[in-house]
Amino acid sequence: MTLDPRNIIDWPGGDNSSDTVISGLHFNITTLEHWNYTLFSNGTLSNGTKCYLTFEPFAPALIFPNGTFINATKCWHPVHPIGARAGTGLGFAVAFGLSLVLTLVALNKHGKLHLPSEKRFHPIGRRWQWYWAIFTCATALISLFTNIDVDRYYLPEIPIVLTSFFWYLMQIGAVACTWEAVRHWGSWMERQFIDPDPFRLREEGRRYWVEFFLPLVAYLFMWLNFFIVVPRSWGRIEHQRYPEQTLTDAKPTATDNRFKSAPFFLFATWVLIVFSLWHSIRHYCPRNRGIINRTIGLIKFTPTRFMLIIPLCFIVPLFQAMVAWNFDWSPLNVKGNPAAIYPGGYAPALLIIIIQGIYGLLSPNEDRELIRQRRERGQTLDAELGIQRKPAWWRRVHDTANPNETMRDKIMRNVREIGGGSATTRNVKEAINTRAAESTTSPRSSPTSPTEDMEMVSIPSPQHVVGVTGPIAPGDFASARQTAGRYVGVMTPGAASRQAELMMDGPPPSPPSPTLMRQPPPPYTDRPAVVGERPPVVGEQGRNHSTASSASPSINSPPVQVRSMLDV
């Protein structure tokens, strides 16, 4: 506590020169002066470190020789009732609390993802406006609740500093919330613009780089406002314990050059907000020609909430500049005018949060809105192509499968739906019998060559039947073979035995000859085989050492014509 000689008063008289009476109680002056206590005109007793109230019912009862008071009340104690400033602050605190709940609901609604995350549009981009709204509500609540003790404390101390500190943070949060709302609206317009054609707007050019650097510059200005206002000594703001101290310490500190220059950075951010809105309308909305038409188009395509929150955002730096020149309207003033502090200092931020919360409740989730737009585009294309889509419930009604159904059952069910069954199987049987009969009565068959024609009879197999939609039993092919054999047996004598021979898998195996088992394998020959040459006989030498000349089959015989790789 700063000691001002102009507020020091003499000790009241007592029973003797070393006795004084304070609030009807006797104290030893020698002990008080030994511990450097001084009596002030505002009813406090202080030595620069400790301060006690001297009026009833807070006056101390006794002081010990070691300087300890009994039943004393410190000067920084809430002894006053709630005043106009604290009462109004409670009402605003309730409003900000409800706005915080509204903001959390909006964040939960708009922060959910219903589509895969895209690299170009990060999910956090849509949430930043709600994060800043939560930050604004939180700082406003702290400022307003600590504002209660500004009225109740007998001498101002830490509550006035906390109130002022978080009030400036609330101002930055309100401007940042407005900036993120406008910036994300432009990003949302871009997303709707390129969703039908992802290559319509490339990530390059003047438009892209403006949108890239604009947030960096905006946050730079907001950071400069924070850097100029917050990191400083706030102790002199507490020096408002009597009028002279307020004029000499608190007022010059609250209206210095740093507080006066800080609002201009918030105003620069507000200008960038307006520029960002104009930039988004220019690139993502229909263009107009002429200054008048462009102005009309700017107003026409601006969302309603921006027409409300952008002017409210302008009040934030404006009021911050006003309190830097007029200390009577400043929240830093303990005796400040509540009629100016709350409408200009807290109401704009509160209205911005409320408008944002109402918008969050009324507007749909962006992913769901994008899905709806895609569905509408699909329906339009289907109508142009003449495609009739079945409703979603159709598949749920008709595609309800048994959980115990096997793959064979599913295939059979699909076959029955297509039209298979006994009728289809009967047609396949008739086709097999007809084909077998036609093969036996073909003009190529003659009594002179029965075996040759019989070998050419084609008996279809399950792999060669094309278009069969129903199950075919193996007995169908056996019956077809029997039918073909009967036809051949009637028309060609001796064909029955030939057919039985063809139906066999192969000749019965015969035991190997003992003579062949005793003979060694043929010798190895390193001479390449010649086409048409006799293979070596068992027992002959593999190499011919004869010098007799003979006609080579490869010279005298006609050249071999290779028709395919199978002939080689």
pLDDT tens digits, residue range 73-115?
A: 888 888 888 889 999 999 999 999 999 999 999 999 999 998 8
Residues 250 and 291 in one domain: yes
Q: What pTM was estimated for this model as a whole?
A: 0.66
- Return the C-alpha torsion angle 423, 427, 430, 434, nearest 10: 170
In a domain, 521, yes or no: no
Residues 203 and 64 in one domain: no
In a domain, 399, yes or no: no
Residues 65 and 126 in one domain: no
In a domain, 564, yes or no: no
Residues 65 and 89 in one domain: no
- On whether the CB atoms of residues 313 and 181 are closer than 8 A, the answer is no
Average pLDDT over residues 278-307: 84
Q: How much is the pLDDT for 316?
A: 95
Residues 461 and 336 in one domain: no
Top-confidence residue, 64 or 457: 64
Which amino acid makes up residue 348?
P
Kindly write down the DSSP assignment for every residue of 381-415, as one continuous string: HHHHHT--PPPHHHHHHH----TT--HHHHHHHHH
Residue that terminates a domain, selected from 46, 70, 94:
70
pLDDT tens digits, residue range 387-439?
A: 877 777 777 766 666 677 788 887 887 777 665 555 555 556 666 777 667 65
Spatial separation of the C-alpha atoms in residues 299 and 309, rounded to whole Å: 14
Query: What does the buried/exposed string (b/e) look like for 39-61 if buried means 16 or more CB atoms within 10 Å of the residue's CB?
Result: bbebbbbbbeebbbbbeeebbbe
Domain carrying residue 280: 84-377
Q: How much is the pLDDT for 386?
A: 82
In a domain, 58, yes or no: yes
Spatial separation of the C-alpha atoms in residues 362 and 350, rounded to whole Å: 19
In a domain, 409, yes or no: no
User: In residues, how long is the chain?
Assistant: 568
Residues 24 and 160 in one domain: no
Residue that terminates a domain, selected from 25, 41, 70:
70
pLDDT tens digits, residue range 370-388?
A: 999 999 988 888 888 888 7
Per-residue pLDDT band at 295 (split at 50, 70, 90): confident
Kindly write down the DSSP assignment for every residue of 276-336, as one continuous string: HHHHHHHHHS----SHHHHHHHHHHHS-HHHHHHHHHHHHHHHHHHHHHH-GGG-TT-TT-
Residues 141 and 20 in one domain: no
Residues 173 and 267 in one domain: yes
Q: How much is the pLDDT for 482?
A: 54
Backbone CA torsion sign across 502, 505, 508, 514: positive
In a domain, 389, yes or no: no
pLDDT tens digits, residue range 26-81?
A: 888 888 888 888 888 777 888 878 888 888 888 888 788 887 888 888 888 888 88
Spatial separation of the C-alpha atoms in residues 278 and 272, rounded to whole Å: 10
In a domain, 391, yes or no: no
Residues 119 and 209 in one domain: yes
Mean pLDDT of the chain: 78
Spatial separation of the C-alpha atoms in residues 149 and 158, rounded to whole Å: 9
Residue that terminates a domain, selected from 435, 469, 491:
491
Residues 93 and 240 in one domain: yes
Residues 368 and 465 in one domain: no
Which of 192-206, 405-419, 533-547 holds the top average pLDDT?
Answer: 192-206
- Which of 130-139, 249-258, 392-401, 548-557 has the weakest average pLDDT? 548-557
> How many distinct structural domains can be found in the chain?
3
Instruction: Tell me the helices (H) and strands (E) count for the chain, helix number first.
Output: 21, 7
Q: How much is the pLDDT for 166?
A: 95
The CATH number of the domain where 268 resides is what?
1.20.1070
What does the angle CA 400 – CA 403 – CA 404 come to, to the nearest 5 degrees? 130
In a domain, 149, yes or no: yes
Three state DSSP letters for 94-140: HHHHHHHHHHHHHHHHHCCCCCCCCCCCCHHHHHHHHHHHHHHHHHH
Residues 462 and 439 in one domain: yes
- Bridge partner residues of 21 (DSSP): 26
Structure-block tokens of residue 319:
């009021």
User: Which run of H or of E encompasses 359?
Assistant: helix 347-362
The 10 Å Cβ neighbour count of residue 439 is 19
Average pLDDT over residues 479-508: 51
